[in-house]
């Protein structure tokens, strides 16, 4: 029963993220910006003290950053990496599980944040996620109307977008140098891995099926997702990149596409790789025949922030076992 509850909880998180990815058009537009675009935009607005937020809105940055509320675990992790752990005065119910977060902080629901109680804490900054708007409503509007500074960071659809997010969060919190350092280290690690792969002289892309939620209600992703961007960079071919966002798939669809490698981040399921390999009809999939089914850590592959470098490395090792030697 305990594992079943955990499964439902994780699936709810992933489904909400999928909805955010499928319905958030502003994210795709933002991800096309280069790292320098955020800096040039802010430079052009120095005179009026305004910058563009990650939704494309012109905003005035807050003067104080002492009290911060984060309503997204991916943002919470970045704030901690920026050295702002002690500035957090409240978080969402998933962020409370992030290492380093004070477990006694007030907790709020991502999808239905209590505007009145949140504003009563008198935060200097409230960080939200596009996931909170996935139902078609804006739960942050009442907070803004009550005079709170709210900035929403939609789930980015590319590695470049992730870097933009980090720089933006650093700018809002007056931790710009720390943010630039995080982005630089992120870039260095990615380039180091890509250099190793380049030395392997791969002839053609490896076809991959990445399962983010298990059967019978399996989910995967197509283009315009940061995980798909990672696969492309790593020289792999997502078998569902002819579709967009986060999407449900059937067993028959996967069998028909016959991937060479299967990856899942459903690490909360016991013996998940064996479950996949033992599915009826899957014994003829190349990935199963050649024992190329892998599991990677869930949080780093589901949260679009700098910690996703761990997912990038784990995916690389799954695609190219030579890297593990």
Domains of the chain by residue range: 2-185, 193-324
| 193-324 matches 2-185 in CATH topology | yes
Q: Are 225 and 161 in contact (CB under 8 A)?
A: no
In this prediction, residue 322 carries a pLDDT of 87
Kindly report, residue by residue over 285-301, the tens digit of the pLDDT.
Answer: 999 999 999 999 999 99
Q: Look-up: residue for tokens 């009826």?
A: 280
Summarised one tens digit per residue, pLDDT across range 85-98 is 999 999 999 999 99
Burial of 33 (0-12, 13-18, 19+ CB in 10 A): buried
Architecture of the domain made up of 2-185 = 3-Layer(aba) Sandwich (3.40)
3-state secondary structure of 206: strand
Q: pLDDT tens digits for 151-199?
A: 999 999 999 999 999 999 999 999 999 999 999 999 999 999 999 999 8
Confidence of residue 50 (pLDDT cuts 50, 70, 90): confident
153 touches 127 (CB < 8 A): yes
Pairing of strands 246-248, 219-221: antiparallel
Helix (H) or strand (E) holding 130: none
Q: What is the DSSP letter of 260?
A: S
| Phi and psi based region of residue 260 (left: phi greater than 0; alpha: psi -120 to 50; beta: remaining) | alpha
Residue 8 has pLDDT above 70, yes or no: no
Query: Which pLDDT score, from 0 to 100, does residue 245 have?
Result: 94
> Which long-range contacts link 315-320 to residues 24+ away (Cβ below 8 Å)?
315/230, 315/231, 315/234, 315/236, 315/263, 316/193, 316/196, 316/197, 316/234, 318/261, 318/263, 318/292, 318/294, 319/206, 319/208, 319/234, 319/235, 319/236, 319/261, 320/197, 320/200, 320/202
What is the rounded average pLDDT for all residues in the chain? 88
Which pTM was predicted? 0.85
Q: How far apart are CA 250 and CA 273, in angstroms?
A: 17
Residue 43's pLDDT band (boundaries 50, 70, 90)?
very low
> What band does 11 get if pLDDT is binned at 50, 70 and 90?
very low
Report whether 123 contacts 68 (CB < 8 A). Answer: yes
Looking at residue 257, what is its pLDDT? 98
User: Comparing 17 with 229, which gets the higher pLDDT?
Assistant: 229
| Mean pLDDT to the nearest integer, 240-245 | 96
Averaged pLDDT, 232-238: 97
Mean pLDDT for the stretch of residues 205-216: 95
Q: Is the pLDDT of residue 246 over 60?
A: yes
The residues facing 262 across adjacent strands are: 209, 293
The pLDDT of residue 85 is 98
Res 181: pLDDT: 98
Say if residue 40 is exposed, middle or buried (CB neighbours under 10 Å; 0-12, 13-18, 19+): exposed
CATH architecture of 193-324: 3-Layer(aba) Sandwich (3.40)
249 contacts 210 by C-beta, under 8 angstroms: no
Predicted confidence at residue 142, as pLDDT, reads 96
Residue 71 tokens, joined: 């309503």
Instruction: Tell me the CB-side half-sphere exposure of residue 277, using CA atoms within 13 A.
Output: 16
Compute the distance between CA of residue 85 and CA of residue 81 in angstroms, rounded to an integer.
8
């Amino acid at each position: 029963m305990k594992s079943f509850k955990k499964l439902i909880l994780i699936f709810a998180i992933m489904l909400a993220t999928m909805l955010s990815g499928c319905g958030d058009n502003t994210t795709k537009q933002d991800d096309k910006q280069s790292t320098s675009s955020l800096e040039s935009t802010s430079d052009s607005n120095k005179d009026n003290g305004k910058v563009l937020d990650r939704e494309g809105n012109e905003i005035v940055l807050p003067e104080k950053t002492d009290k911060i509320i984060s309503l997204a675990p991916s943002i919470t992790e970045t704030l901690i990496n920026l050295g702002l752990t002690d500035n957090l005065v409240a978080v969402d119910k998933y962020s409370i599980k992030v290492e380093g977060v004070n477990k006694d902080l007030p907790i709020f629901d991502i999808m239905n944040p209590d505007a009145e109680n949140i504003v009563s804490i008198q935060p200097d900054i409230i960080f939200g996620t596009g996931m909170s708007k996935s139902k078609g409503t804006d739960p942050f509007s009442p907070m803004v109307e009550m005079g709170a500074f709210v900035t929403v960071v939609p789930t980015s659809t590319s590695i470049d977008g992730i870097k933009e997010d980090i720089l933006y969060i650093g700018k809002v919190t007056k931790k710009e140098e720390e943010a630039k350092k995080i982005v630089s280290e992120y870039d260095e690690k990615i380039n180091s891995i890509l250099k190793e792969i380049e030395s392997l002289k791969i002839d053609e892309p490896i076809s991959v099926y990445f399962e983010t939620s298990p059967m019978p209600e399996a989910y995967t992703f197509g283009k315009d997702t940061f995980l798909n961007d990672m696969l492309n960079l790593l020289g792999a071919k997502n078998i569902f990149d002819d579709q967009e966002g986060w999407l449900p798939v059937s067993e028959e669809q996967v069998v028909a596409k016959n991937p060479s490698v299967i990856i899942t981040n459903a690490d909360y399921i016991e013996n998940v790789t064996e479950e996949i390999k033992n599915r009826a009809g899957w014994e003829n999939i190349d990935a199963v025949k050649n024992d190329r089914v892998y599991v990677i850590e869930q949080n780093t592959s589901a949260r679009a922030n700098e910690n996703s470098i761990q997912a990038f490395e784990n995916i690389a090792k799954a695609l190219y076992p030579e890297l593990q030697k």
